[in-house]
Amino acid sequence: LDFDAPRDRVVTTDLEFPTVPFLWRGFARYGATLEVAGGGGPDFDQDALEEAIDERTVCVCVSHGSYSTGAVLDLRRVVDRAHSVGAYVIVDAYQTVGVLPLDVTALGVDFLLGGAHKWMCGAATAFLYVRPDILPDLRPAVTGWFAGDDPTSFGPPAGWAADARRLA
């Protein structure tokens, strides 16, 4: 993602796992400005979150379910608000995947992160969903060899993979 002013804001909530604010504060070196919305209570402050999302917002990074309180966010409202101003929505679904239904296509979620080690009794596995129509516009900043269009050839890279593997 590009963080060129005036569209340089990342909006999140005060109920995120501590990695989230640390991660986005690290992107300050690339121009990102973090906006943390919330009322300090056990539930997501949906109204404060939606009010924080404006034309300066590049992306909204939120948890579907809070790791600390179990509160569940109304993703439909977040996606609708973010998309109305041209912002992406990144959803952390680690706390809810396998427990609560979540249809990324119906919701229009842009990115979804999850894993099987919490509720699906899997090993330490993780996954990333990227909305297919935005993939061609994504330019990875840092990837490994597996992000190429033909990684097992071990030849010179010709281009990015056409699917979400380009972000690997």
* pLDDT, tens only, 64-99: 999 999 999 999 999 999 999 999 999 999 999 888
What whole-number distance in Å separates Cα of residue 118 and Cα of residue 137? 32
Higher pLDDT, 106 or 40: 106
**Taken in order 146, 144, 132, 67, is the CA torsion positive or negative?**
positive
Q: What is the pLDDT of residue 109?
A: 98
Q: What is the pLDDT of residue 115?
A: 84
The CA-based diameter of the chain, rounded to the nearest angstrom, is 53
**Cβ-proximal residues to 30 (8 Å cutoff; 6+ apart), any chain:** 3
What whole-number distance in Å separates Cα of residue 95 and Cα of residue 44? 14
- Per DSSP, 25 falls in state H
Q: What is the pLDDT of residue 86?
A: 98
What whole-number distance in Å separates Cα of residue 124 and Cα of residue 80? 32
Instruction: Retrieve residue 19's tokens.
Output: 């990695």
> Phi and psi of 37, rounded to 5°?
-105, 145
Q: What confidence category does residue 118 fall into, taking pLDDT thresholds of 50, 70 and 90? A: low
Instruction: Retrieve residue 67's tokens.
Output: 């790791």
Q: What is the pLDDT of residue 152?
A: 87
Query: What is the enclosing helix (H) or strand (E) of 29?
Result: none
Q: What is the mean pLDDT of residues 20-43?
A: 94
Closest C-alpha to 104, from 66, 138, 143, 133: 133
* CA triple 50-96-107, angle to 5 deg: 50
Q: What confidence category does residue 20 fall into, taking pLDDT thresholds of 50, 70 and 90? A: very high
Name the β-bridge partners of 115: 126
